[in-house]
């Protein structure tokens, strides 16, 4: 079947469930460690981070981004040719990989720099107009979760 650059429209927004999901445990545990490094004391678990006045909001924002990217993946995986989504992910990866490699600060500095860079990436093709900032940033959390660009 030929798609002829059909635009399936924007993906639904992702919704981060209240309870942490098993499939997000890798990047979440990396962030928990990074928050502890920055705070100067280890957090026992993600729930402790979520209760923290400074880091709780930050972690909730990261989960929102992660689930926005997951919904984007699901939607376009099912409504576009496979190369559209893989091209998008490759563009995000190559758009942030140098910043990831060159980050000299602590882990949170790396996360902040990479996510800031991801926000500026202009994807190509049909997905360009639908790749919201949160999706591009959440894709970086998926890279961390998969071990492609781990935060720690």
| 3 state SS of 5 | coil
Cβ-based burial of 6 (10 A; exposed 0-12, middle 13-18, buried ≥19): exposed
Domain boundary assignment for the chain? 22-146
Distance CA 25, CA 31 (A): 10
pLDDT digits (tens, 9 = 90+) for 93-151: 999 999 999 988 899 999 999 999 999 999 998 899 999 999 999 999 999 999 999 99
Distance CA 76, CA 8 (A): 8
pTM for the whole thing?
0.93
Region 4-12: mean pLDDT is: 78
Contact 144, 27 (CB under 8 A): yes
Query: In the chain, which ranges are continuous DSSP H helix?
Result: 25-39, 46-51, 55-79, 82-102, 107-120, 133-146
Within 10 Å of residue 90's Cβ, how many Cβ atoms?
12
Kindly state the tokens that stand for 14: 């992702």
pLDDT for 4 equals 54
Q: Is the pLDDT of residue 5 over 70?
A: no
């Amino acid at each position: 079947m030929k798609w002829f650059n059909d635009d399936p429209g924007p993906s639904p927004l992702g919704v981060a469930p209240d309870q942490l999901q098993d499939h997000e445990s890798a990047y979440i545990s990396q962030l928990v460690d990074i928050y502890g490094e920055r705070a100067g004391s280890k957090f026992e678990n993600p729930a402790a981070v979520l209760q923290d006045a400074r880091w709780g909001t930050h972690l909730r924002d990261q989960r929102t981004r992660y689930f926005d990217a997951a919904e984007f993946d699901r939607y376009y995986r099912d409504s576009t040719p496979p190369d559209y989504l893989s091209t998008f992910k490759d563009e995000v990866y190559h758009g942030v990989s140098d910043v990831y490699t060159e980050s000299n600060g602590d882990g949170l500095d790396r996360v902040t720099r990479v996510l800031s860079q991801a926000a500026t990436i202009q994807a190509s093709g049909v997905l360009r107009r639908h790749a919201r900032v949160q999706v591009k940033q959440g894709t970086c959390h998926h890279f961390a979760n998969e071990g492609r660009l781990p935060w720690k």
